[in-house]
Amino acid sequence: MPVSDELLFVFMLGSLLLGAILSYVLQKKPHISILMGYSFASLASLSGIILGPTLLLSERSLEIILPWSIFGTALQFSVDPLTAFFITVISVLGLSASIFSYGYARAYIGKQNVGVLGLFYNLFILSMLALVSSSNTFMFLFFWEIMSLVSYFLVVFEHQDSRVRRAGFIYIVMTHIGTAFLIIAFLLLYKETGSYLLFSQYAGISQNLSPTMKSVIFILVTLGFGTKAGIVPLHIWLPKAHPAAPSNVSALMSGIMLKTAIYGFIRITFGVLGTGPLWWGVLILIIGAVSALLGVMYALMEHDIKRLLAYHSVENIGIILLGIGSALIFVSDGRHHLAMIGLTAGLFHTFNHAVFKGLLFLGAGAVHYATHTRDIEEMGGLLKRMPWTGFFFLIGSISISAIPPFNGFASEWMTFQSLLGLGTANLGAGINIMGPVLAAALALTGALAAACFVKAFGIMFLALPRSTKAEKAKEVPRTMLVGMGLLASLCFLFGVVPSLVIDLLSPVTASLLSVVTIQMGGYRWLAITSLIEQGTVLGATSISPVIILTVLMLSALSVYLIFNRFGKFRNTRIDETWNCGVAQTSNMEYTATSFSKPIRIMFRAILRPTRKIEKEYVLKPYFTSRIKYKGGIKPFFEDTLYRPQFKFFLKLANKFTVLQSGSIQLYLSYIFVTLVVLLIFAR
Amino acid sequence: MEMQNYQGLVNFLIELVLATVFLIIIARRFNNVIMAVIIQGVLLGVLCIALGWATGNYEMYIAALLTLVVKAGIIPFVLNKAVHKVAINRAVESFLSLKLMFLFAFCLVFTSYLATGQVIGNGSGLIHEALPAAISMMLIGLFLMINLKFPIMQIVGLVVIENGIFLAGIGTTHGMPLVVELGIFMDILVGVLIMGVLVFQINRSFDTIDTKNLRNLRG
């Protein structure tokens, strides 16, 4: 029934709008406002979850023209496979975050205006859905701006805190710099291709573009979308804005708002610009590798759980770009079969990152809800107090560390394959060396991510509570657990049966590269035929998550059985940890700072750690009463890239204050002189 | 009616209006300044009557009446009242000397004739002197606002600019629609009234109306 799909799409947008309005109107009754706001958001997300996969599986596209217009441009939405895939991504996370918000938003009752939160929350999802469904560049930019503004208001939701306002300021400045690049790129596209605005029409015409113009547009688009996605060094807003926003919003921002930039990038490069020179792909690969490595290194140094997760977003955007970059390289060579692997890996990781990062942010929100702190050094022992939250957070941690049998592994494995495919492709020695080197960088990233989450999970959930805040923590309300549980089960499901998503991606790659993903095998095997030269398969590789899971379970079971039978587990004695006779306190525990110290030393050339030790003595030099350790890392990009510019403009502005003398007569003289000069010269 | 016959008279009146601006420049005492403003208003009213006679546009007579009432009546009255309320010293001080101001004003007149010479050609049928004179008045009005220290002189400068605009309006269009003129009158009248009150209030709050003190507001 083709009519019902269109209705469903309109229903999806309409219920978000209704949710926004109702939530705001009912702000005097916060409980009803929360119920209304997030119910409509959930309803819309549910329809999105139905709509996206339906369209993808039936391989149909939608064209919807609403009877309204914005600034003379008709509201025309078109849902092609790429859009349908992103609608699915947005809706999956939207549903979980909305269910989570029922409980989470209650914490704000009496402190903040929950009606406003519901209003912007709904509008935020609405703008992202409208953005990916925009049929032309004008609408795209319009909703892009709406999304930026609405997310800005969400970032500064707790505006009473001056740090939050500052974070919001940095966010809105950075995001507008990005938009500026995009506007230039779209205007160039408009100028070069005539009056056509539709994406679908651009595709045919862009063949006539000169290679230089194409490259200029490509660079602009990379910078513009890169700012939003948070590539290094344009990432500085991320670790500031994400912690400032409420957690359900940070889940959406990190999980899907960054992905709209990936959407835009794929839409323009693959959909509009088409085939480009080799260096496009190389550039994206380098950006991706640098972002991934630096992102995870900075994440390791963070002790604020939400900043830590924000840096992991930088890392994961890097991993996504590694997949897309290798796809770009293969496209430039015309090998669409191999490009398909990279693109699928990138999009699959996009989906997975939305799921597990959403889960982790919701988990961080739950912990913040229970402990009222974001500093992991103040946590500890939460697993006993919040067992379900801990369990879901653990699943998220394993997924993001790319450990089987969870979904992060599946997509990173595919990214590895596409990178290693570069090593054997016939593209010259440089690329052949680069592929494996980048694969090694990706492996390092994965290992560091695992270390980071061992730290995060261990310090947060294990051992004794490090503060009274953590001691008093209680499990969060059930709605929040359902929201997290939904995402956790998806992490597992897509980790074991990745073909569920890969099959959905088949029409996407078919529309962008005219290659389908069917050859990746069924649900048991994830097979990649990476080397096809003139129709003959030279090399193939495959992996089966189901078998990995079975082996893992069997080995765990056998270890348990063997030890139970032969080990000394039978006569265990449960007692307190022996502590050399001193009473055990949380001061003796491993801290996050000390855990990450080896890595800080290893990468000190990159991280540039600073340390300051203050000692107070009872009797110098042997009897110290107190040692104060202050460690940090140098904000390299702020110091070298942003501060000089900032200083320059401030200096320039200071020069101009001479004009502002304060004398009204002088101000009038400026007008006067201008008038007379214009009269003389412009006659 | 034949327009050409009245060209000489109208142009002469316009020159007289322009001359009153110089009266304002040379006036060293505030009473004289207000006198000059009244003369300017009366001359503008006469100009309106002459134009109405010349073009047969009877709305011009209403405009003339309004000009006389507002520009030669209410505005000078308000200005005079404001001066009496706030000023101890009613001498007009300027940054430049009188000779320099005179020279400068002449340069401005020259400039505006130079600049608008091409807009109104000799045979264009429009009133020849109106536009250059109007532009001169606007520029000199602005110049007065810049150059004179006494704050109420800034209001006078504004009135001169406004008169210049009015002159440009009636001189180049053969009479504007009455609605537009009414709007302009209301504009200047309300503007001057508010400024008169404000000057009084500022004086009461700060014991001074010297614009020099605005420098303290600088960030």
* Per-residue pLDDT at B117: 67
Q: Is the pLDDT of residue A143 over 90?
A: yes
Range of lowest pLDDT (A96-105, A278-287, B204-213): B204-213
Establish if B116 touches chain A: CB-CB under 8 angstroms: yes
Establish if B143 touches chain A: CB-CB under 8 angstroms: yes
Q: Which residue of B117, B215, B219 is in closest CB contact with A663?
A: B215
> B147 contacts in A (CB within 8 Å)?
665
Length of chain A: 683
Q: With respect to residue B214, please indicate whether it lies within any of the assigned structural domains.
A: no
* Per-residue pLDDT at A151: 93
* Per-residue pLDDT at A92: 94
Q: Is the pLDDT of residue B87 over 80?
A: no
Question: A318 near A291, Cβ under 8 Å?
Answer: yes
Q: With respect to residue B219, please indicate whether it lies within any of the assigned structural domains.
A: no
* Per-residue pLDDT at A1: 45
Average pLDDT over residues A138-143: 89
* Beta-bridge partners for A36: none
What are the tens digits of pLDDT across the range A340-372? 888 989 999 999 999 999 999 999 999 999 999
CB contact under 8 A, B211 and A660: no
Q: According to the 3-state scheme, what is the secondary structure of B85-129?
A: HHCCCCECCECCCHHHHHHHHHHHHHHHHHHHCCCCCCCCCCCCC
Tokens of A534: 């003139």
Q: Is the pLDDT of residue A98 over 80?
A: yes
Least CA distance to A660: which residue of chain B?
B218
CB contact under 8 A, B145 and A665: yes
Angle at A64 between CA A58 and CA A65, to 5 degrees: 170
From the CA of B215, how many Å to the nearest CA of chain A? 4
CB contact under 8 A, B108 and A676: yes
Helices A336-371 + A499-513 axis angle, to 10: 130
Establish if B165 touches chain A: CB-CB under 8 angstroms: no
Q: With respect to residue B82, please indicate whether it lies within any of the assigned structural domains.
A: yes
Q: Which residue of B118, B142, B212 is in closest CB contact with A672?
A: B142
Number of domains in chain B: 1
Q: Is the pLDDT of residue A533 over 80?
A: no
pLDDT band of A116, cuts 50, 70, 90 = very high
Residue A156, phi then psi, degrees to nearest 5: -90, 25
Domain housing B75: 3-207
Establish if A661 touches chain B: CB-CB under 8 angstroms: yes
Distances in whole angstroms, Cα of residue A302 to Cα of each of A40, A593, B150: 36, 9, 63
Range of lowest pLDDT (A258-267, A297-306, A535-544): A535-544
SS3 for A69? strand
One-letter amino acid at A377 equals E
Task: Answer with the residue of higher pLDDT: B81 or A526.
Answer: B81
Establish if A654 touches chain B: CB-CB under 8 angstroms: no
Q: Is the pLDDT of residue A159 over 70?
A: yes
Measured distance CA(B153)–CA(B83) in Å, rounded: 10
What are the tens digits of pLDDT across the range B125-176? 556 677 888 888 888 988 888 887 777 778 888 888 888 888 888 777 766 6
Q: Which residue of A661, A668, A680 is in closest CB contact with B145?
A: A668
Q: Among A157, A130, A154, A158, which residue's Cα sits nearest to residue A144? A: A130
Q: Which residue of B146, B212, B218 is in closest CB contact with A668?
A: B146
Question: A408 near A385, Cβ under 8 Å?
Answer: no
What is the DSSP annotation of A457-485? HHHHHSSS-SSHHHHT--PPPHHHHHHHH
Question: B110 near B102, Cβ under 8 Å?
Answer: no
Cβ-Cβ contacts under 8 Å between A and B: the total is 49
The domain spans of chain A are: 1-209+230-274, 278-518, 587-633, 636-681
pLDDT band of A519, cuts 50, 70, 90 = low
Measured distance CA(A38)–CA(A44) in Å, rounded: 10
* Per-residue pLDDT at A660: 77
> A671 contacts in B (CB within 8 Å)?
142
Establish if A660 touches chain B: CB-CB under 8 angstroms: yes
From the CA of B130, how many Å to the nearest CA of chain A? 17
* Per-residue pLDDT at B199: 77
> B115 contacts in A (CB within 8 Å)?
679-680, 683
First and final CA of chain A: distance in angstroms? 68
Question: A241 near A314, Cβ under 8 Å?
Answer: no
Least CA distance to A658: which residue of chain B?
B218
Least CA distance to A682: which residue of chain B?
B115
CB contact under 8 A, B218 and A662: yes
From the CA of B118, how many Å to the nearest CA of chain A? 8
* Per-residue pLDDT at B1: 43
Tell me what ipTM this predicted complex has.
0.79
Question: A384 near A463, Cβ under 8 Å?
Answer: no
* Per-residue pLDDT at A325: 93
Q: Is the pLDDT of residue B211 over 70?
A: no
Question: A464 near A384, Cβ under 8 Å?
Answer: no
CB contact under 8 A, A683 and B115: yes
Of the spans A63-67, A78-82, A677-681, B182-186, which averages the highest pLDDT?
A: A78-82
CB contact under 8 A, A680 and B115: yes
Q: Among A343, A214, A199, A208, which residue's Cα sits nearest to residue A271? A: A199
CB contact under 8 A, A664 and B111: no
What are the tens digits of pLDDT across the range B105-138? 888 888 888 877 666 555 555 566 778 888 888 8
CB contact under 8 A, B139 and A676: yes
Distances in whole angstroms, Cα of residue A460 to Cα of each of A303, A363, A442, A596, A682: 10, 11, 26, 14, 71
Q: Is the pLDDT of residue A265 over 90?
A: yes
Measured distance CA(B26)–CA(B108) in Å, rounded: 16
What is the DSSP annotation of A366-412? HHHHHHS--BGGG---HHHHSHHHHHHHHHHHHHHTT-TTSHHHHHH
